Structure 1
């Protein structure tokens, strides 16, 4: 069993993929209003929203436990509709040496897909794969989708 791993999940959404990309690329601080049970905050620490190199602090919950992650926006690719964040401080780094997550939105015709990927390096062999983070981002994705569906 290796210390370096990658987890990927993809889900279809019924809402516009461009809007979904815009939220994570330019307006991540709006996520908390769409999924308050999962994300309680996204504050700008350095830089500006929508710019690579900016640093944001996420406050989120997993299994009822309040957690924090300070992340650097590594890249925002408008053409590919992909945003990549690297955790530089926070709870996840208690178990992982490296934790990078990407969100990619694929829109082809009427079909829209959101793909989340996590690249990570565990601190040691006893650390389990971060599947609870996949569960979290899938809940967040579905809540954002529901928020944007016509009422």
Structure 2
């Protein structure tokens, strides 16, 4: 098996793609209130929310344990409703040499689809694929949708 990999998940949402992109790019510090079982905290370490080059510190639950990650916002495209985070420090880098999270929203025939893509490079062959992390992102998407649909 190779050390490099890519996992992608796509989920239909009814809350609207602009809501998702706005929340993840401009106000991710709200996520612990929306999805406390996934996100425990998000702090701006450097820069400005939603600005390329900004550094975020995330506290999250992965495989039942609290973890920490420091990400740099590598790309942001409001028109395409897309973000790319590159992990530069944290617990996941004990297993992965590279760990990037891409997020974007597409609209097909009036249906908004949230797509999460993980690009990673494992440090060792025996490291598992980050399927449970991808599952957590799907759960985060569902929590965001539920929260915003209730707010309407």
TM bucket, shorter chain? over 0.9
1:71 corresponds in structure 2 to 71
1:143 corresponds in structure 2 to 143
For the residues of structure 1 that align with 2:64 and 2:131, how far apart are their CA atoms?
Answer: 16
Gaps (5+ residues) in structure 2? Answer: none
Distance 1:22 1:109, change over 3 A: farther
1:93-132 alignment to 2 at 5 Å?
A: 93-132=93-132
2:22 corresponds in structure 1 to 22
Q: Provide runs of 4+ in structure 1 moved above 2 Å.
A: 107-110
For the residues of structure 1 that align with 2:107 and 2:30, how far apart are their CA atoms?
Answer: 22
Structure 1 residue 109: deviation in Å? 4.8
2:50 corresponds in structure 1 to 50
Gaps (5+ residues) in structure 1? Answer: none
For the residues of structure 2 that align with 1:150 and 1:94, how far apart are their CA atoms?
Answer: 38
Structure 1 residue 106: deviation in Å? 1.1
Structure 1 residue 29: deviation in Å? 1.1
Structure 1 residue 134: deviation in Å? 0.6
1:62 corresponds in structure 2 to 62
